[in-house]
Amino acid sequence: MARFPSSPGFWRSPVRGPRFTSVLGVVLLAGITVLFLTGLLSYAAYNPGLSPVNDKTPGKGLLGFYLFSWPTDPPWLYRLTQGVHVTLGVTLVPVLLAKLWSVVPKLFALPPVRSLAHALERISLLLLVGGALFEFVTGLLDVQLDYVFPGSFYPLHFYGAWVFFAAFLAHVALRAPAALRNLRRMREGEGEGAQEEAGGEPDFPLVTPRPADATVSRRGALWLVGGGSLLLFATTAGQNTDGPLRRTALLAPHGGADPGSGPGGFQINKTAASRGITARETSAQVWRLAVTGPAGTVRLSRADLLALTLHSSALPIACVEGWSTSDQWWRGVRLRDLAALAGHDADTAPDVLVESLQRHGAFRTAALRANQVRDPRSLLALDVNGEPLTPDHGYPARIIVPAAPGVLNTKWVARLTFADL
Ligand SMILES: Nc1nc2c(c(=O)[nH]1)N[C@H]1C(S)=C(S)[C@@H](COP(=O)(O)O)O[C@H]1N2
Ligand SMILES: [Mo]
């Protein structure tokens, strides 16, 4: 009998048991809730209202019921929400895997379906486990491989999150009371047998009836999972700095090029060369910025822009992939002043469509909302940290907006069109 996975005796690890499962379950309950909420915020930050330019999730009306105009304050807002989203997601990987391992025997319990209620529960578990794996795998692939699914990662991860979270809530409603009871008993130091009777499932006990010799205690196994998480955290979190700590982010993507030190010494996501930007088209003779509004189109060279009133803002870049820089000193022309140049009133300036010189690949264009355009810290930046932008950071001009995801900070800007989008 014990030769088949459908028999409890087939599963022999003495680590499995309601305690182990409950501890991991409660950690995931807190962690996944935070992942879901920060994920929804990220979606709001990508300006899905400015379709079809930014986020292109179709039919987002129903699931996007909560959407709001992403604020520009505090300027580190997206750095925080997305840093937490990605770092926490990576950190929870060992917990998720251990949790799935701890309950895997139940997958094989016979009969597979005992009643309608049981059938519904098993379907919800399928969505739960499938959803969890789908969300973690798509998220990690996106972070590690820079958008393996260009354009489609957002809708996949977004729809997946709703399916997963619905199943997650159902699961929490069904299981949280027993998990919490288990933890309480654990604190009171009762034996595992007593717990199993009260909190576990009589039909397929998590505690093996035929335990193999222990190679690690339950407590030791939890320490291993926690240690794995800590290691992942320690090799990921550094991507939210750009000092020497950045080098501790062994697991984080390092972008297109080593930024070196000096004024341009912060992460470079896509280099000018990789986007096909040439020195000729960004040269003083050739490059002109086109600014369009009710007053028609104005063309400005970099020298013309430098002759306008310049302002400085200390702002970070915070990428959807979870890395961010500390504040950099940007200097350039306010977007609201450029809106005024194009014939709008700066205080009532509309949205703006930003187009790059770049001809191929993602993120050539982005749209900014009116609140972002009107913010006096939003710049068409010409310099960073006291020097002209480097080619890889967007020379001759790039967008920088407080609290916005990095993807909206378009580099190598060629055209600004102010209009209600
Ligand atoms: N034209 C253009 N602008 C772009 C991108 C791009 O691929 N092309 N990438 C965006 C993304 S996703 C990020 S996170 C930031 C990164 O800026 P950095 O390379 O200067 O750090 O630039 C943004 N601006
Ligand atoms: Mo990004």
Tokens read off for 243: 């000092």
Residue 318 to residue 41: CA distance in whole angstroms: 14
Which of 146, 270, 408 maximizes ligand 1 atoms within 8 Å of its Cβ, making it the mutation to test the pocket? 270
Residue 58 Cα to ligand 2 midpoint, Å, equals 21
Q: Tell me: the pLDDT tens digits for 231-253?
A: 999 999 999 988 788 888 888 77
pLDDT at 14 (0 to 100)? 94
Q: Tell me: the pLDDT tens digits for 261-304?
A: 888 888 898 999 999 999 999 999 999 999 999 999 999 999 99
Closest atom of ligand 1 relative to the 361 alpha carbon: 7
pLDDT at 198 (0 to 100)? 39
Sheet with 352-356: strands ordered across: 296-300, 289-293, 413-418, 352-356, 365-368
Residue 105: which of 29, 192, 13 has the closest Cα?
Answer: 13
Residue 377 to residue 137: CA distance in whole angstroms: 37
User: In this structure, which residue's CA is closest to atom 7 in ligand 1?
Assistant: 363
Kindly tell me if the per-residue pLDDT of 195 is higher than 50.
no
Which of 411, 412, 413, 415 maximizes ligand 1 atoms within 8 Å of its Cβ, making it the mutation to test the pocket? 411
Rounded alpha-carbon distances, angstroms, from residue 286 to 46, 184, 396, 410: 32, 71, 11, 19
Residue range(s) in the chain whose domain bears CATH number 3.90.420.10 = 273-418
Under DSSP, is residue 247 helix (H, G, I), strand (E, B) or coil? helix
Kindly tell me if the per-residue pLDDT of 202 is higher than 70.
no
Mean pLDDT score, 308-324: 96
User: In this structure, which residue's CA is closest to atom 12 in ligand 1?
Assistant: 407
Nearest ligand to the CA atom of 271: 1
Superfamily of domain 273-418: Oxidoreductase, molybdopterin-binding domain (3.90.420.10)
Of residues 177 and 261, more confidently modeled: 177
pTM for the model: 0.93
- Are the C-beta atoms of residues 313 and 402 closer than 8 Å to each other? yes
- Are the C-beta atoms of residues 193 and 207 closer than 8 Å to each other? yes
Residues in contact with ligand 1 (CB, 6 Å cut-off): 267-270, 275, 317, 319, 356, 358, 363-364, 393, 406-407, 409-412
Residue 270 Cα to ligand 2 midpoint, Å, equals 9
* Alpha helices (runs of H) in 146-281, residue ranges in sequence order: 153-187, 192-199, 218-234
Rounded alpha-carbon distances, angstroms, from residue 116 to 123, 164, 204, 206, 340: 11, 21, 18, 23, 65
Nearest ligand to the CA atom of 276: 1
User: In this structure, which residue's CA is closest to atom 24 in ligand 1?
Assistant: 410
Residue 396 Cα to ligand 1 midpoint, Å, equals 14
Residue 255 Cα to ligand 2 midpoint, Å, equals 10
Burial of 51 (0-12, 13-18, 19+ CB in 10 A): middle
Kindly tell me if the per-residue pLDDT of 36 is higher than 50.
yes
pLDDT band at 150; cut points 50, 70, 90: low
pLDDT at 111 (0 to 100)? 86
User: In this structure, which residue's CA is closest to atom 18 in ligand 1?
Assistant: 268
Closest atom of ligand 1 relative to the 255 alpha carbon: 19
pLDDT at 167 (0 to 100)? 94
Q: Tell me: the pLDDT tens digits for 204-221?
A: 678 999 999 999 999 999
Mean pLDDT score, 195-209: 62
Residue 410 Cα to ligand 1 midpoint, Å, equals 6
Which of 86, 154, 240, 407 maximizes ligand 1 atoms within 8 Å of its Cβ, making it the mutation to test the pocket? 407
